[in-house]
Amino acid sequence: MTYTELSSTNGEAQTIVDTALRSAPPAELEQGKVYAFHTPTGIHKVDLTGPAAAPDRKTGTTTVRDADSFRTYFEKHSDVYSEVYADADRLTVTAVLDAHEADAPRWGGHVLKLALRETETWKQWAGRDGKLMDQETFAEFLEDHLPELLEPTAAEMLEIAQSFQATSKVEFQSANRLASGQRQFQYVETGTTKAGQKGQLAVPETFTIGLVPFDGSEGYKLTARLRYRIGQNGLQLGYKLERPADIRAKAFADVVTAIGEHLDEPIMNGTPAA
């Protein structure tokens, strides 16, 4: 007697069974029961007696955009071991809500992050900072940003912008500083019936603007100093903001202070471990 054919037949039968099992449609399991399955590596158990889809702990990173939202989420999910970090370079405040206890490790997987975003008006003023523009472009920029102009008033700055638009066809020859703190430009009319006639245009050397650096932050005053150049391309104008980086840093520090006033935990300088 030989067993070769019997062994071969059993192998083919097992292959058919395995193929049938793999091709069978999935079956829905009932919540509240325990199921056991034979697998190639042993018995696999599925326990559905616990709460449906209930995680064993809180995980994930939640990102908010203002201090109020940060405080609201932190108060809901923090405990006595939660840690808070502030990073001025990244403009972030990060809370590890399930941070390590003093004598016992925890997961550190539930994180709250405040990621500040610069406002559009801040980016627009910063984007033009120190750059010269032709008269028309400078005048249009002032007109588009009248709400941020504080001193001189928006109405006065609008008049100045309109004056630049009205004198776009003249030849500027010189500029003098007046005792009043204004810059007076001397020009000659060209290409009109008034060709050859001389005129003057006075512009403040400094003006004050009000900007909100970040979404949800307070507003701050900045001084802008007039910049100009008279050359082959005519009169070019611009401004230079005084210490905008300091204002930006102060705005972030004020956000951190506003958060800290409502927390029992100290805010540490830096970032948590990855």
- Structure confidence at residue 32 as a pLDDT band (50, 70, 90): low
Residue with tokens 């003093």: 102
Percentage of residues of the chain with pLDDT beyond 70: 82
Average pLDDT over residues 254-266: 94
Cα–Cα distance between 242 and 263 in angstroms, integer?
34
Cα–Cα–Cα angle for 141, 142, 146, nearest 5°? 125
pLDDT at residue 51, rounded to an integer: 60
Which residues in the chain belong to E strands, given as ranges? 34-39, 42-47, 60-64, 83-87, 92-96, 110-115, 133-134, 149-151, 170-177, 182-189, 198-204, 206-211, 220-231, 234-241, 267-269
Note the residue count of the chain.
Answer: 274
Query: Residues near 231 by Cβ (< 8 Å), separated by ≥ 6?
Result: none
- Reduced to 3 states (helix: H, G, I; strand: E, B; else coil), residue 201 is strand
pLDDT at 4 over 80: no
Q: Are 116 and 214 in contact (CB under 8 A)?
A: yes
Q: Are 66 and 216 in contact (CB under 8 A)?
A: yes
Helix 244-260 / helix 67-77 crossing angle, nearest 10 deg? 30
pLDDT at 132 over 60: yes
Q: Report phi then psi at 78, rounded to 5.
A: -80, 165
Average pLDDT over residues 53-71: 89
Average pLDDT over residues 97-119: 96
pLDDT at residue 3, rounded to an integer: 41
56 vs 159, more confident? 159
- Structure confidence at residue 8 as a pLDDT band (50, 70, 90): very low
What value does the mean pLDDT of the chain take?
Answer: 87
Cα–Cα–Cα angle for 184, 170, 162, nearest 5°? 65
